Structure 1
């Protein structure tokens, strides 16, 4: 009986046979590459039968697009890219991702194409550089189209002539495999289809009531999606340059420098110059730098607040929550950030307090101290202060034994007055 229970457990643990669905309706970015990789890894772990990427994108970064294509082509699980819902598009980099899928599907009233490479600024490229990029892209998509059994001539025109096709035209010209109104119809049409992948023929065996698992973007991916928008990347880069320039032109302005530094880091990530882990590390270092600068040049909390923000964001995005080791929970991040903030603010307060405190040594340290008149002082006499006998004078008569207060130190002579009660 125990053996049967164990066998049932093993079968249910490793034979999920589900369809895993990813939704992406933003520009193609490093975040998309990470998200699709996470979804595919989940599907591999759960032994899923099919991964569906429901896509609606205006395009995006070429480097991120290539990462997505690599993920699709290097998994042993069949991947379908589904341009949906009605009104959606797979433009530019999105078109190439769709073509690279094992099964390319579009919903009615959608379109695909316009994959000509452009600069992030939207300006025309130098003809020589454009020709090199176009030729490289054409070779890339033609090789993919041939491997996936799609029409390479039509796909090439998407790059060289910005060809755009409706779902019906794409199906007719051999760019996609079929049209489906929804996920259920997609599953129905793809069931029984055989695909060639990684030197093997895979038959997709799906049922009408197949379990569908939707994998949505987590908080970290949603945050990074906003930051990774190519248009926003360009704007952040320019804001960063202007902020740093203004800070150098007007040292001590603080806010422009802070905004500039953070903007440049975010732009470097959005441009795929640094990965998200390095972005987290650099933001944490920048936050600590802001705290230190707050101690050196107090800005009434402006740098401290900037440090808190940089430290918090950096800590949240530092570790991929879906890594084998897990993420850093907020219940750890928040106390650490609060402790760091409190520590640096306390040090700043103590430093400021020390700067405003009266000098405790030397001539300045004597002023305000009290002693006793050893003789009558009218106007001269002697006083006893902290175990020492001093010559003193006063503008008012003081009798022997009266308590006196030091007003000034003039060489080796003290100016005193009667101590106030």
Structure 2
């Protein structure tokens, strides 16, 4: 057997064992010696500088001078609170705040508003800390559980969140099982999202939940600072906000309070069912009147502004969505078609469908899945009252129009109605002119009339003529005749 060829030796392939030198690679098989004198001191200086720079960076990020925003959840949680938290959390994120503290002192509030607030907190991109000072009951408990950390003031309590409502006699009653089940699931999902025991959250809502050593069946759970810490619902007890910062690792941060502003109070006011009803009344009436006036004038401007205020406030409250706007626009289109296109007997299918769609648009903008029964009834009553009054006012307007000499934009209203219905009217010789008959439908302004046994499509010169009135043809425009009401006697 032949031996394999010997590998050639590489010169200088051994590291020097000299204590004061080190070898560095220069080229294949060759090393050079570098003195080690002072290398240890240089390394120590570099490490000290690195530690100093890292410490300085930490101070810049979360230490001295860092901002922590404070939002106060006080009193009843209503629709204005949704607007307040939405703005506060968004501005804190834009300002680069290290965290947001939500300080709780609330007996609860509206469930639909609380659900919207909870979604805002869970979706916040800034760190959220709850400070229970001194109570967070009902809807307030849901918001506190939605925060990343929960701190308690001495004597603070959290829980007692079963949904309730007031009956017609003013007595407080627990909500039906269907509502309790929905709220229980909401609390459970919120606790799970923050890594807390979901059964504890459920026991705050449902009396049937029992937890050995914590709460027995038939009682609602309310946590104190001590029991909350034992069951993972407290990250510490703090005498004041300064201690909250210390516990959260934000010592030395600057607290910036974000106040409940005029816009939040405006949202609270505009989402009151009866104020909302007034906005609907003004809005719908203004739009209907504008349909019978040339150009775009004061009625349309006021009506549009009222409707924008209505939908804006309910959108900020987390209630109005695209479906509400689609219902509303569909209703307006149907009513326009009923007035200017269809001439069915009396108020036809398009008009009825339009009113229903308008009602659905306003109703869905005022209620949510967790809106309390009393608020639902108030919303239904407010919408119905506003629509009825709008129709009554519109009918009075049409009755008043023929007697008025109202000019808008320099054009007589009567001429505008005629022009919208049949285009520019030019009198022509016709055997129909001067003949009389009876209105078979309400003319607003279009409809049907019977003249000498013949049914004709007609348009009212005055803008509106009630069914059964005697009418006279004053112009013949081909496929439609312009009629005027004949006064009896």
- In the superposition, the TM-score normalised over structure 1's length comes to 0.47
Question: Which of the pair is proportionally richer in helix?
Answer: 1
- Which has the larger Rg? 2
Report the TM-score when normalising by structure 2. 0.41
